[in-house]
Each structure stands twice: as structure tokens, then as C-alpha cells.
Amino acid sequence: MNKSALISFLAFFGVLSPGFCQEKFAFEFYAGPSQAFLTYEVIPRNDFISPSNNMQYHLGTTFLWKLRDDWQLTAQLEFFKRELGTHAYSSPADTIQITGYSTEGIPLLALGVRKTWGNLYLQPSVSLMRSPSVLDQYDRGNEWNDIRLGVISESDWGIGLRLEGGMKIYNRRGNYFLGGLRYQQGLILMDKMNAAVRYNERIGHVLSAKSRGTYAGLFVGYGINGHNLKSAGSRSPKRLYNDNKLLKHELSIEDGWYFMLYGGLRRRENPLSNEFTYSNTSGQFQAVLGYNYNRFSVETGYGNFSYNANYQIDFDGVEALVMKWEKYDMPIIPLTFKYHIPLNEQNTVRFGPSFSTYFGIRDQSKYRFISKGSGATITDEKEYRYTSESYSVRNLDHGRFIFNAGMFAEMSVFNSSFLTFKVSRNFASPDFVLIKGNYIIEGIPISIESPGNINGFMFDLGYKIPLKVLNRQLKQARKATA
């Protein structure tokens, strides 16, 4: 974020500061996945090229000022990530290549109002977005059929219309958890990316992706009412706990079955040394059924790891003059063991070690590609011409088992479930694919190879719901005997 935007926010924050300890003030923190909406055009038209746009994230803070009983003035400071210029998939998947990629983040400030009905709310607002200045990556001479290639900033600022709706769940202090949906419609074209689509290393089309800052997102967060920031002696907030919530919490920490969803990112081993973060990072998810007994738990289910067999060629002092990537997926069956160590008497915060074995379902050696051709890359107005041949090794024998070890921490939310954070490392993964490349760059032969596996450090966020909490008959029986 630039200095002027930061100063503007601090000035706004200063205006609200005197009201921090007033009943009518509150603030929230939130984060969640988001999906950007981009306008695509293939030049010349080719219906076999279908662009994809991967999910990213957004996070922010909301400040609320009470106007009257059910109305609040809102101000949000937010940062959201969006992809501009993504991979494209075509029917001849073994010969297509997209050059250029960007996942720059956009900061914004939004002003609006919130209408509340009980625990539900609706919030329209208007946002001012700042386009990242580093996006203008166009070099003169880097053109195809008079079309500029690269990422281009069309406007430094953008304006958006936003609408969000959500639900709040209060705790005993009058603070609350919240979750909901958010949509932003951008009104001004901010960024454009013209990515070369290569067939056998020759440009055949241009994929043009345009962004106005439009996105949709899911979010969860936590809100703090201003009265909780008062000094000692202030009146106690209204108690919002009840017997039902206490019963749900007791059921959630008992032995029994649970369902859990994981999602996160993995940093590859031996990362490539270039500016493209995506070349070293992949995603994964798991959906598992587990059983908790005393302090131990075991779980299994289904998951999927994305991975790639990327390589780059540094030449003549130019980093990543040539870069090649092939994306793959490995579905897995996990088996995970955990040991839970409580950090308080209520058993609401726990941590411990985690050990997993993953069984890879797919025999990746049955899938192959080969690509031959010639091309050129222009850097700093200097052209490098090359011919290339790249292919995957056929009938590559590989194992199926991968191992994982790490630490996790989980925190009780909604008095009935757990939010889990996990840091771990995959190791002993076999190489599922092996890509080999033979290039001649300006008359100099260069050979390179790159394996693809799922080793590396992982960062996961998960949500666990004990099934006893969903058992209405069990809860009624407990109430009857209480």
C-alpha cells in the first residue's frame, strides 16, 4: 500500500479512536477464500482454449459506529489477492503453454452501512481500490501482431460496489464470531494481461485477461464490542451463554467421531530461484472422518495434492530466461494420528504432534506429453532465439506412499467445533513424473530435467465438527438427566 493510502487510513482511524471505549463502537477481523472474476478474450478466437482462475484469499478489518438501534456506519480496510492472467487449458494439452502470470494483491478502503436483524445483517458499501504499481511489466518490442504482451496497469485506482451478508454468534462477554458471503463489483478497468499462448514454442494466440477488482468471497471472523475495552469498574456486559451452549461444548470435547475439512499450501523442496511465487507453491485439501479417544485421535478419508514439475534455464545473466511448468494432481487416502495436549482446564485450546501416511491413488506414469518447437524471448530489448524439445519419461516406476510429520493447534469455536492450524512437512515422496528438456539457445546446447513430487513444508487450516454435537436425541437425553 502506498504512503498516501496509509496516511488516509490512519487519519480515519484517529477520528474513530475517541469512541473506542464507547458502547456504540465495535471492530471486526475477518479472512477467507475469494474468487476473482476476470474478463477473458482469446485473439484470434479459439473455442478450444478455456482459461481457469484459481481461488485466492482476502482479509481485513471492519470498524463499526452505531447510528441507531439496528443501523451502523462501517469502514473496512481490506487486502485481497486475485489472479490476473492464468493458465489456460486446451484440447491439445501437450502443446499449449501460457507465458506470464500475476497474483498481485489489491488493498482497498470501503465505506458503508450495516442493517441488523437479530444475529443476521446486510451491509452495502462503496470501495476505493489501489492497483499495484509493479504490474506495469511491458517492455517495448515485446509484441505479437501489434498486441502488447505482459501485465499492464490501465488505472492506478478503482471503484467498487460491495454487498455482504452474514451471521453473528455471541459469546459470554458480548463479543462474537461472524461468518458470511461478500461480493464486490468493480467499475473501472484497472489491470490487463496479454499472455502468449504457444504451440510447440511458437505463439499462436494471445489470451487477454482484464480485471476490474470484481470478486466473491466467503469469510469468518471475530468481532469485539467497545464496552469490552473499558477500564475496570465499567458495567458487565450482558451474559449471552446458556445451558445449550455449555452442553454443546461438553459434547464437543468428549470421545467420539468427528468430521473435518483441511485446506492449505505447500512449499516445494528445492525451490526455483525466480520472482514467480506460484512456481514454488501448490495447494492441497483433505476431507476426513476421525475418532477421538482420550487424548488420541485417528482419521482417514480423501485428499488431493497439486504439484508441478517446473524448471527454469538461466542464460547470459538472465534469470529464468526460459521457464516451463507442468501441473499435476495426486489424489490420496490419508491415515493420520494425533496426540492432543490441552492448554486450559476447559479444554478449548489444544496442541500436539501429528503423523500421517498418504497413499497415492493415481499411477502417474500412464500420462505423458511431448513438445517440440522453436521460439524467442525478448529481455531488455535483447532477443534470445532457441529450439526446444521437452517430454515426460514414459513408464516411470514410482512408489505410492508419502509420509508427513508436524505440529497442530486447535481452538474451540461456536462452543461446538474446532478451528485447526497445522504446520508440517511431507517427506519420502516418490517422484511421480520426470520432465526432461533439451534446448539450443543462441547455438549453445542445454539439457535439464525436473522431477515432480509432493515433498515440502505445508501450512493447513482446518475445521472440525464432532458428530455428537449434531445428535439431537443425545442432547435431549443429556438435558433430561441434567
* The Cα angle at residue 453 between residues 447 and 457, in degrees rounded to 5: 120
The residue written with cell numbers 494425533 in the block is 338
If one counts every other C-beta atom within 10 angstroms of the C-beta of residue 219, the result is 22
At a CB cut-off of 8 Å and minimum separation 6, what does 381 contact? 139, 140, 141
> Comparing 198 with 56, which gets the higher pLDDT?
56
pTM of the model: 0.55
pLDDT at 137: 63
User: Is the pLDDT score of 258 beyond 60?
Assistant: yes
Q: Using CA atoms, how far apart are residues 368 and 33, in angstroms rounded to an integer? A: 33
How many angstroms separate the CA atoms of 325 and 307, rounded?
Answer: 10
Place of cell 508436524: 406
**For residue range 71-84, what is the model confidence (pLDDT) as tens digits?**
999 999 999 888 76
Band (23; pLDDT cuts 50, 70, 90): low
User: What band does 257 get if pLDDT is binned at 50, 70 and 90?
Assistant: very high
pLDDT of 9 higher than 60 = no
pLDDT at 331: 93
| Separation between Cα atoms, residue 399 and residue 330, nearest integer Å | 12
Q: How far apart are CA 273 and CA 281, in angstroms?
A: 13
The pLDDT of residue 5 is above 80? no
pLDDT in tens, 103-128: 677 899 999 999 999 889 999 999 99
Domains of the chain (ranges plus CATH)?
19-229 (2.40.160.20), 243-481 (2.40.160.20)
